[in-house]
Structure 1
Amino acid sequence: MASSPLGRPTRGTTGTNRLRRNDRWIAASAAFRAASDPLVIDLGYGASGVTALELATRLARVRPDAEVLGLELDPARVSTARDQLAEVRAGRTPFDSGIRVSFERGGFEVPVSGGRRPAIIRAMNVLRQYDEADVADAWRTVAGRLATGGLFVEGTCDELGRIASWVDVTADGVPARFTISLRLAELERPGIVAERLPKALIHRNVPGERVHDLLVGFDREWDRAAPLSTFGATQRFIAAATALKAQGWPVLGGRSRWRLGELTVPWSAVAPRSS
C-alpha cells in the first residue's frame, strides 16, 4: 500500500458496463495478449469496483491467467471494492468466485508488490479534472511503471459507455494512437465524441487543430453516407471510415474494427499544434 499516493481523487461515479468498449480494446491488444505477465491495472476505478471485475471477466476469456489490480486514492473506495469482492468470493454475485482481482490504495505511482510490472494500465475518466499542461507528466509517470512493451490506455467516456475515446501511450511515455469508440445504434454523428475527448485533446477541438479537422471530416463523410442508413448504422460508419482513409487520413485497422464503431489513427494525426 502506498503511503503517499500520487494524484487527485476522482469525482465521478462508476456504472456497470460503462467501460465495456475499453475492456474490449485492451483484450484485443498485442501488449496484453503477448505479455509474459498479464497483469492489468484499473487505475482510478471510481466509487465501485465493478469496472475492475468486468475487465477481469473479459480478459479471462482471452487469457485465463490474466490478473486485474484496482487502484484508488480514497481508502473508503478501496474498502467498498473489497467488500464487493468478498460478495463475489462468497458466490453471491454473477461474477466467477475465483476471479483474479484485488484492490489496493494507490495512484500514479502504481504500487505493485513483488516488483511486478503491469502489461497494461488503464485510466479512464481520471485526467479530465486535471489541466492540459499536467497530462504529459502524468503519462510519463504512469507509463514508467509498465513492463517492456506495455501500454497505458488513458481516456474518457460518457456515463453509459456509449461514447468513448482514448490514447495508447507506450512504456516510454510517448502517445502512439488515438481511438474513437461509439455505439452505432442511434448514433447521430461521430463528432459527438468531441464532448468526451481525452484531456490532451478536448480543448483542441477548434479550427486549426488536427483533431478538429478529423472530427469535421468524419461528420462530413457520415452525412455523405446517409443513404446507407437503409442498411444500418454499421454500413454507414464503415463507408465514412473508408472515405476518410481514401482521402489520406492514416486510419489504422479495417472493417473488423469499424463495424464495432471504432476508428483509430496515429497520435501524430491528431496531436495538438504548438500553442
Structure 2
Amino acid sequence: MSTLDAKTRGRTSPGRLRALDAYLCRFEPGLLTRTDGPWAHGVFVDVGFGEHPWTTLESAEAFRSLHPELSVVGVELDAARAQAAHVHAGPRTHFRQGGFELPLTADEPARLVRAMNVLRQGPVERVPEVHHTLGRFLLPSGLLVEGSADPEGAVLTAHLLRRPADSADLPPTREALLFHTTFRHGFAPWQFRDWLPRDLRRRVRPGEPMHAFFESWNQVWQHARDTGYTLPADAFRESVTRLATRVSGVVVDSWLLDSGYLVWRPDGGVPP
C-alpha cells in the first residue's frame, strides 16, 4: 500500500457505470480494439472495484462486444475483497489486490484505466500525483478515466485524461470532462456539482472556470425551461445546444444529447 492509497467503503451497485461503458464503446472503439505492436497485450484495468466486482464484469462484457479477446484486470486495495472476486476470474479476467501502483506484469500495458469513486475522500492535493502514477501504466495515447457517480449511476462525471503519445514522463493530459444523467432525479446542471471529480469540487466558486461553466449552463437551462422545454431530457438537450454557443469546447453530438451526455473538451484541456 503506497502513501497515495486510501481505503474506501467499496459499496457499489450493478449498472452504476454502464453509461460510462456505453460512452467508451461508442467514442473510443479504436482504443479498445487496437492490437498492433504492444497494443496486442493492452489490458483494461478497473481500479477499486469494491465489495463485489459487478462493474468490472459489466465493463468486460461491454468492451468484449468490440474486442472478444480483451484482457481485463480488476484491482482492489482490500485483500479480502480481491480474494473473494476470484470466483469470477477466467482466462482473460483477473482480480488482484493492489492500489494506484497497479499490480500489472511487464507484458500487461494498460490501454484504458478506470478509477471511479476512489478519490472522493482524502486530500485533494494528492489527485495530480495519482493521475500521474496511473498514467505511467498507460500505452501512448491510452486513456485514464477518473471521477465519481452517485450510488445508482443516475449522475456521473469523469475526467478523460490522455497519456501523451510521445512521452511517458509527462502527466496525462486533462483532455475532457464527461457528464451523464439518466434523468432519474429530473435534471438541473447543479446536480453534477457534488459528483465532480475530487480536484474540481472545490473549484466551483466565483472567479473559477468551473463556476463560470455551471453559471452559463444554469442560465441556458433556465431559459430553455422558460421557453417550453419542461421535460428533463428536452431541457437537457436544449441547454447543452445553447451552452455550446457560449462556452467553447462543448461537444454537440446527437447521440450524446439524446442519451444524457455532455462532453466538455476545451482548448488547452480542462482547467484545474
Q: Does the pair score TM above 0.5?
A: yes
Deviations 1:13-71 (A, max 9, x none): 02111111222223231432435335100001111111110110111112212221100
* Alignment of 1:254 onto 2:253: yes
Structure 1 unmatched ranges of 5 or more: 87-97
Among 56, 64, 68, which residue is 2:68 paired with?
64
**Number of aligned pairs?**
257
Aligned residue runs from structure 1 range 129-208, under 5 A: 129-171=121-163, 172-208=171-207
Among 50, 55, 71, which residue is 1:51 paired with?
55
The SS at the match of 1:150 is strand
Letter in structure 1 aligned against 2:180: S
Structure 2: distance between partners of 1:99 and 1:27? 22
Aligned to 2:168: none
* Alignment of 1:106 onto 2:59: no
Aligned to 2:265: 266
CA contact (8 A) 2:178 2:262 kept: yes
- Structure 1 205/6 Cα, relative in aligned 2: closer, same or farther at 3 Å? closer
- Structure 1 185/48 Cα, relative in aligned 2: closer, same or farther at 3 Å? closer
* Alignment of 1:42 onto 2:46: yes
The SS at the match of 1:79 is helix
Letter in structure 2 aligned against 1:105: Q
What's the Cα RMSD here? 2.2
The SS at the match of 1:264 is strand
- Structure 1 245/99 Cα, relative in aligned 2: closer, same or farther at 3 Å? farther
Deviations 1:78-121 (A, max 9, x none): 112113x16xxxxxxxxxxx784210111111121242201000
The SS at the match of 2:25 is helix
C-alpha displacement at 1:170, in angstroms? 1.5
- Structure 1 151/270 Cα, relative in aligned 2: closer, same or farther at 3 Å? closer
Letter in structure 2 aligned against 1:27: C
Q: TM-score, normalised on structure 1?
A: 0.86
Aligned to 2:211: 212
Deviations 1:135-175 (A, max 9, x none): 11110000010111100100001000000100011224221
* Alignment of 1:122 onto 2:146: no
Structure 1 segments of 4+ aligned residues over 4 angstroms from their partners: 3-6, 267-270
Q: TM-score, normalised on structure 2?
A: 0.87
- Structure 1 12/4 Cα, relative in aligned 2: closer, same or farther at 3 Å? closer
- Structure 1 75/12 Cα, relative in aligned 2: closer, same or farther at 3 Å? closer
